[in-house]
Structures are given as structure tokens and as C-alpha cells.
């Protein structure tokens, strides 16, 4: 039994699409590489064939890992998110106490994290430091550069 992860419906659909492409186009491309390498003659001295077989093994491993993630994925019902404290899928507005900069992040699973769109992983230092906090709380978060202090200004979904 793998680790249960929580996803938005959109995030889970993206994973399922990726898995489908790996199983169809990805497998077909690798089979083609293997066939091409096989056509080049003696398999005992064929580095291209060995490389293609290695790539196939890695590809199948990626598929089985992704299948496990999808099998253990649960969709979060965004309507049931408690906005009294920070949790997965909370949208959190924080202010850096040192420089006054305000940021808004949505806490998501590690696989859905994307800093460009403001989605940070619940397992990142900032994500972990914000979990369970309430509006008005101060979060002290240890990052590689030292200790950061943030005021939690708002929690929404």
C-alpha cells in the first residue's frame, strides 16, 4: 500500500493523462528504438540495443510508480476545506516580518507544487511551517538562508 496523496481534480486528471501517454506514445517510441537497434545486427555488441532496453526498464518503472500514485490518490473536496487554519489546498496570505513583503501561496501535494503559480508543497519548509496556523499567528520557518518570520494575514480556499 503506497502513501495516500491528496489532489485537486485537475491535478489528478493531469497525472492520469501523463500515465496514459507514457503507456501509449512512450511505450511505442521505446519499442521503435529497440526494433531499430535490433535491425543493426549482432545484439551481443550492440550498445544502442542495450541503451534502448535500459530506457525501456526505466520507462516501465516510471509507469509503475505513477500507477501507484494514481491508485493512492484521493480528490480533495474543496468545499469542505476548513479555512480557520492552514491545511492542504488552503490559500494563505502571509507577510514577511523583516521586509513587509506579502505573498499568497496555495498549499498542495508535492506532485502539484509549482512556485510560478504560487502552489507550494505541504512538505516544503514554508508549507510545513504554515500548516495548522491561524489568521494572526506568526510562523517561524527555518529555510536554508536562516530563520524567516511570517504573519498569517488571511486563509481562504
Q: What is the pLDDT of residues 8-56, one digit of tens each?
A: 788 888 889 999 999 999 999 999 999 988 888 777 778 888 899 999 9
What is the share, in percent, of the chain residues with pLDDT greater than 70? 95
Q: Which of 40-44, 71-75, 83-87, 140-144 has the highest mean pLDDT?
A: 140-144
Classified by CATH at the fold level, domain 5-75 comes out as: Helix Hairpins (1.10.287)
The pTM is what? 0.59
Spacing of C-alpha 58 from chain mean position: 19
Q: How sure is the predictor about 2, in pLDDT bands with cuts at 50, 70 and 90?
A: low
Q: Where in the chain is the domain with CATH 3.10.50.30?
A: 78-156
**Residue 147 confidence (pLDDT) above 80:** yes
Strands (E) across the chain are located at 5-7, 73-75, 91-96, 102-108, 119-121, 138-143, 146-156
Report the CATH number of the 78-156 domain.
3.10.50.30
Amino acid at each position: 500500500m503506497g502513501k495516500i496523496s491528496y489532489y485537486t481534480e485537475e491535478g489528478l486528471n493531469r497525472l492520469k493523462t501523463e500515465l496514459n501517454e507514457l503507456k501509449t506514445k512512450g511505450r511505442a517510441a521505446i519499442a521503435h528504438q529497440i526494433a531499430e537497434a535490433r535491425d543493426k545486427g549482432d545484439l551481443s555488441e550492440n550498445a544502442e540495443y542495450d541503451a534502448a532496453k535500459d530506457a525501456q526498464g526505466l520507462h516501465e518503472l516510471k509507469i509503475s510508480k505513477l500507477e501507484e500514485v494514481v491508485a493512492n490518490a484521493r480528490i480533495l473536496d474543496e468545499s469542505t476545506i476548513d479555512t480557520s487554519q492552514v491545511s492542504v489546498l488552503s490559500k494563505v496570505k502571509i507577510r514577511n516580518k523583516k521586509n513587509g513583503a506579502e505573498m499568497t501561496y496555495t498549499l498542495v501535494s508535492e506532485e502539484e507544487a509549482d512556485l510560478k503559480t504560487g502552489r507550494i508543497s505541504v512538505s516544503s519548509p514554508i508549507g510545513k511551517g504554515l500548516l495548522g496556523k491561524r489568521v494572526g499567528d506568526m510562523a517561524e520557518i527555518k529555510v536554508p538562508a536562516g530563520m524567516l518570520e511570517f504573519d498569517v494575514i488571511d486563509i481562504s480556499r
